[in-house]
Structure 1
Amino acid sequence: MLPGAVVGWDLSAALALGLALGVPPLAAGELLPIIEAVMVAKLNEQMEHSDGGKTG
């Protein structure tokens, strides 16, 4: 965990949610890491812009 940054998702929870929604576990296992990487990058980018570029 880093203050002011997103480093990842709880993939166990994401897999469980996918299973509950009927998403095949193989598909979720293949797609979630890719989706997570993009979302983490975009969330951190958005937080950086909303913070005025401040760090720490």
Structure 2
Amino acid sequence: MIGWDLNAALALGDALGIPPVAMAELLPLIEAVMVRKLNEEMVANGGPGVSH
């Protein structure tokens, strides 16, 4: 995984009433952690598309 669709994430934040400034500040940080954790999990499980 390389990242999120940030336009969709910003639209979701807007729909939830989250201020755009907060979304712009927090989304990159949250995205970086999620991408790193998902990639670690994929490696630990034998890569994408591999089921155990």
Q: TM-score, normalised by structure 2?
A: 0.87
Selected match of 2:21 from 19, 26, 29? 26
- SS in structure 2 at match of 1:28: helix
Size of the aligned set, in residue pairs, is 47
RMSD: 1.0
Which stretches in structure 2 are left out of the alignment for 5+ residues?
48-52
Measure, in 2, the Cα distance between the counterparts of 1:21 and 1:48: 34
Which stretches in structure 1 are left out of the alignment for 5+ residues?
1-5
**Divergent runs of 4+, >3 A:** none
1:26 deviates by: 0.3
- SS in structure 2 at match of 1:33: helix
Task: Using the aligned pairs only, state the percent identity.
Answer: 68
